[in-house]
Copies of this chain bind each other. A is one copy, B any other.
Amino acid sequence: MPRAGLDPAAVVAAGAALADEVGFANLTMGLLAGRVGVRTPSLYKHVSGQDDLNRRIAVLALEEAADAVGGAVQGYAGRDALAAAARAFRAFVLEHPGRYAATIGQEPSGPEDPLAGAGQRLLGAFTAVLRGYDIDDRDVNHALRLLRSLFHGFATLQASDGFQWSTDVEESFEWLIAFADRGLRAL
């Protein structure tokens, strides 16, 4: 039996890719094992179980999302930055619905949890967007939560194809960006 040359990172990456393909809810250890060319119990040499796998996928997703949003914002400010961040975030969720779903309902066990760090990085990317607006210090946290709620809500509703989002979703999203921009400028 030749070695498969796996390591935790490879297993997690494959798990994330598989989750995107088959849906997070349908990600099983057996399916993942088949994908990486190994029998199920062998996966336990790299991750300690399904919970661990899920958490690691969530961390990966948050880091990638933070990179995507952070990268998209580079060189922009104000409305342009907001639009870039929003589009990047939504694109990420739609392209990687499985790994993003892994982040829902995960909460960091403590400040040392990698999940907390990854979450902070994503939040930081949105904070950068807010710096382009003239917002009172007291309002920054509220505004941050607003943006997070708005984008998370829109992306997840669309990803689950919630309710007859039949047409012009793009248009609605652009409208939403404009709405948020007007509101933030008016503070």
A contact residues vs B (CB 8 Å cutoff): 25, 101, 104-107, 116, 119-120, 123, 139, 141-142, 145-146, 148-154, 156-157, 160-165, 168, 171-172, 175-176, 179-180, 182-183, 186
B residues near A141, Cβ cutoff 8 Å = 168, 172
Across the interface, A153 reaches (CB within 8 A) one of B123, B154, B164, B180, namely: B154
Residue in B closest to A147 when the chains form the complex, CB atoms: B153
- 24 CB contacts below 8 A, A to B, read A101-B105, A104-B156, A107-B160, A116-B163, A116-B164, A123-B163, A142-B171, A142-B172, A142-B175, A142-B176, A145-B165, A145-B172, A146-B150, A148-B157, A148-B163, A149-B150, A149-B157, A150-B150, A150-B153, A152-B153, A153-B154, A182-B183, A182-B186, A183-B183
